[in-house]
Structure 1
Amino acid sequence: MGQLSRIYRVNLIWSCNDENVLPNSVVLKLPRLKDFSDVVKMFQNNKNKRIDQTIEFIKASHNVECDIYDIFESLKNPPLPLMRCYYAEKSNGENSGILIFEDMSLNGVSEDFSTILNLDEIFNLISLLVDLHVWSLTTSVDWKSKCPALLNRLKDTTDKYALMGGLQNFVNDYPEQFGFMDVERICHYMHIDNLTKRKEHLMNTTPKVLVHGDFKANNIFFKKRSDGTASSRIAAIIDWQTAEVGSMIDDICSLLVISTSSTIRREHEKNIIQYYLNCLTAKLPKTLHQIIPDYETLWHAYKEIFLFRVVLLLNLSAIIVKHKNDNLDLFNEIMDRITSAYYDAMEFLDEDAEH
């Protein structure tokens, strides 16, 4: 089950099965046009007026993913590991659309979003982001027209403050956990017009690249070890519904805020950004080296977009917070992740205001 789609694994029986050619199972992905997920509902401030717009957003997101897989399937050597897409049908009118994928569960392991990725996994993923960005900056394929900016898609779906999601309700319902948050300040930051200006500024100071948009642990398949556990090697990056033209820092920030511990993030975030720049310099043709931002520019961009990812982490964590007694260790870890990221975000905004 996804936030924007329903996922089904289907076993197949063929009358003349050749296991080397025909798959024994596939994965179906269908847009959730009627039964909105809890996270999607959080971003609907006015449910009565926004249902049609939300449906259109989900359709548009499904169509973006169809386009992304059409592009990647047309390439002899895609820029990063993907699961095969056997069929992509867009949402159009009464037709909800569908995607049919290879079943990655046989050779890969998918984690929960709350999984703490280790440094090996993070550096492997950063290296893949570099490959994606180098491809974005050097290819003749027209990918930009297929990936409208996510906030532009959201503008017709939400009111000015709906990107706050359930934050105010969380603060009211769980004052012991979230009473420290400055909701008014976050509200100003998350106002969709302010956030749009911030994102546009980032794209004017860093090269425009293909951004996954939801780059976190549960959208990554890791190669399976012989004992069935996940290795640190990447089998596939999945779920491209929120792909867009964006800043090269977007997916890095998402990964570090949402899918690793506060200790790992705080200790290594600067080194990870420098590692990204080193890899980009090594892989990008020398004729394009003049477009590579310096470290300070990329670090500033990271701080600018940081709070946006903190709010997304909070909304994703809703089910863990509401059912904290089911897994207190997980609840405490997520609360540490949220609290640490929030205070870092406030410090980043203070530093930004001083300049």
Structure 2
Amino acid sequence: MSKNPLESVVDASSVDIYSHLGRTGYFIEWVLRKLYDNNSEVRDKCEKGKITDVKFKCVSGGKGLRSQVYQVKLFFGKDDTYNFVVKTPAEEHVYPAGAKTREDTAVEQAHSAEVKICNMVKDLDVLVPKYYYAEDRNEEGTGLIVMEDFVDISGTVGWLGSSTAEQCKNLCKPLAEFHCEMMHIPNQPWKGQFEDTMHIQGIYQSVISELLPKSTGLVPEIKLFVDEYPFILTSAFSKYCIQEKAAEYNATFFLHSDLHGGNMLFKKRDDGTVSNIPLAMIDWQTAMEGNPLYDIAHFVCPTADADVRREVDPLIPDLYYDALVEAYKKHNDTVPFSREQARELYDLALMQQTFQSLCMPAMLSTHGSGPVHEAKTAKVVLKTRFLIEDTRKILRKYDLSNWRSRGGRKHSISKYFSLIN
């Protein structure tokens, strides 16, 4: 029987490595072995001194939609430390009280997808954390991801926060580089492996049916807009914006697809505020293939205030395309679609984001109160109003005003607005 390498690098008198790491379902010993086997920096530290303590805390607040995240700190003597992060499926689904539910299955599928992607990108020089180890669910546990820690040095703008123009513009280059590198992985192992179930196949229908009437109470323009363009709410139109037009332009790329303001980390300044410097993309649970301008639109539309979005909208397609051209040159390759097509693809992505953004006012207004919250809600209302206005212009620009659902299930507009008619 082989000797456990941790026996010689952990101070057994002060560290109980056979206790559980929070509610992950894994022993500290098991997690440390995976880190030790896959991280040369940790092995180097262990050669200089033993691990004298292990501390951890849940940094997802125990409220992760599909995952729970722990920051783990290793102590080597008094002065030297090393931090890393452990991510597992959401704790309410780690120890299910009863038979497996549909949500349990969704959590497992989301984790499985993220594990595949972590293992695909771990050796790429792109804007992602270092992934030391990623394992899917098996007989030993629910699965986990061991990765680089950015908890104390990063921040986000939040899903409905207010991003700056510089943050939006600064994302174009790393996103283009990421998309390029994924296209140039030998044999493109992601091809056909990730089926979208969030942005195209109607998972938002129940959310929309509940929130859309509430949003319309804050933004009356929503009802007029949806009455005029009912296809906006169909999965078929989302598919057209995200995948079909991209395929026509030979522009089907691998997408993060859920790069909202909470999944994009930026560096913190010394004073603790969030800077304009992108640090890492996280949470790969809903990745898919499609329109390469979708990722940047998914960040910009919910986060940028209306004036900021209108400032950066004319700039983003060119910034992204220029960066993509440079990234392709490093592979002695050329971008497979034109600059003009990039502009159209961004416009289509913006329209699809308008569909998702129709629920923003209700989502924010129902989670808070008071004068500050009232002002934040007013900003989100303006975001929605100007997205609607600009989507009307895009529909006319590309002669899409009479677009109709092609085979997709039509949404019942009267049902959605029955609460306010």
Which TM-score tier does this pair reach, normalised by the shorter chain? 0.7 to 0.9
For these two proteins, the number of residue pairs brought into alignment is 329
Q: Give the counterpart of 2:226 among 145, 163, 183.
A: 183
1:68-123 Cα distance to aligned partner (Å, 9 max, x none): 111222x1xx2323223343222469954333333312222233122222222222
Cα contact 2:360–2:384 (8 A) shared by 1: no
Cα contact 1:107–1:223 (8 A) shared by 2: yes
RMSD: 3.2
Report the TM-score when normalising by structure 1.
0.79
Q: Give the counterpart of 1:81 among 112, 127, 134.
A: 127
Q: Give the counterpart of 1:299 among 343, 350, 363.
A: 343
Cα contact 2:66–2:110 (8 A) shared by 1: no
Describe the shift of the 1:247–1:264 C-alpha distance in structure 2 as closer, same or farther (beyond 3 A).
Answer: same
Q: Say whether residues 1:278 and 2:312 are aligned partners.
A: no
Task: Give SS of 2:186's match.
Answer: coil
Q: CA–CA distance in 1 between the matches of 2:271 and 2:382? A: 31
Cα contact 1:163–1:191 (8 A) shared by 2: no
Cα contact 2:127–2:178 (8 A) shared by 1: no
The amino acid of 2:87's aligned partner reads L
Q: CA–CA distance in 1 between the matches of 2:176 and 2:361? A: 28
What corresponds to 2:268 in structure 1?
224
Task: Give SS of 1:83's match.
Answer: coil
1:231 shift after superposition: 2.0
Q: CA–CA distance in 2 between the matches of 1:33 and 1:308? A: 32
Q: CA–CA distance in 1 between the matches of 2:385 and 2:234? A: 21
Cα contact 2:194–2:288 (8 A) shared by 1: yes
Cα contact 2:161–2:261 (8 A) shared by 1: yes
What corresponds to 2:208 in structure 1?
167
Q: Say whether residues 1:207 and 2:251 are aligned partners.
A: yes
Alignment of 1:121-270 (within 5 A): 121-140=167-186, 142-145=188-191, 147-151=193-197, 155=201, 162-173=203-214, 175-181=216-222, 182-184=225-227, 187-198=230-241, 199-270=243-314
Q: Which runs of 5+ in 1 are unaligned?
A: 36-50, 156-160
Q: CA–CA distance in 2 between the matches of 1:312 and 1:32? A: 28
Q: Whose relative contact order is higher, 1 or 2, with alpha carbons under 8 Å and at least 6 apart?
A: 1
What corresponds to 1:30 in structure 2?
89
The amino acid of 1:221's aligned partner reads L
Per mean C-alpha deviation after superposition, the further-off stretch among 196-205 and 273-282 is 196-205
1:152 shift after superposition: 8.8
Q: CA–CA distance in 2 between the matches of 1:240 and 1:276? A: 21
The amino acid of 2:149's aligned partner reads D
Task: Give SS of 2:173's match.
Answer: helix
What corresponds to 1:158 in structure 2?
none
1:181-225 Cα distance to aligned partner (Å, 9 max, x none): 133556523322443344223232142222111112211222222
Cα contact 2:89–2:107 (8 A) shared by 1: no
Q: Give the counterpart of 1:71 among 120, 143, 146.
A: 120
What corresponds to 2:400 in structure 1?
353
What corresponds to 2:378 in structure 1?
332
Describe the shift of the 1:203–1:79 C-alpha distance in structure 2 as closer, same or farther (beyond 3 A).
Answer: farther
Report the TM-score when normalising by structure 2.
0.68
Superposition misfits of 4+ residues, deviation over 6 angstroms: none
Structure showing the higher helix proportion among its residues: 1
What corresponds to 2:68 in structure 1?
7
1:168 shift after superposition: 3.9
Cα contact 2:182–2:188 (8 A) shared by 1: no
1:132 shift after superposition: 0.8
1:210-248 Cα distance to aligned partner (Å, 9 max, x none): 211111221122222222222222222111111222221
Cα contact 1:324–1:331 (8 A) shared by 2: no
Describe the shift of the 1:187–1:4 C-alpha distance in structure 2 as closer, same or farther (beyond 3 A).
Answer: farther
What corresponds to 1:46 in structure 2?
none
Q: Which runs of 5+ in 2 are unaligned?
A: 1-59, 95-99, 403-421
Structure exhibiting the larger radius of gyration computed from Cα positions:
2
The amino acid of 1:248's aligned partner reads P
1:115-156 Cα distance to aligned partner (Å, 9 max, x none): 22222222221110111122123331533247423149974x
Q: CA–CA distance in 2 between the matches of 1:111 and 1:306? A: 19
Q: Say whether residues 1:56 and 2:105 are aligned partners.
A: yes
1:273 shift after superposition: 0.8
What corresponds to 1:43 in structure 2?
none
Residue identity (%): 17
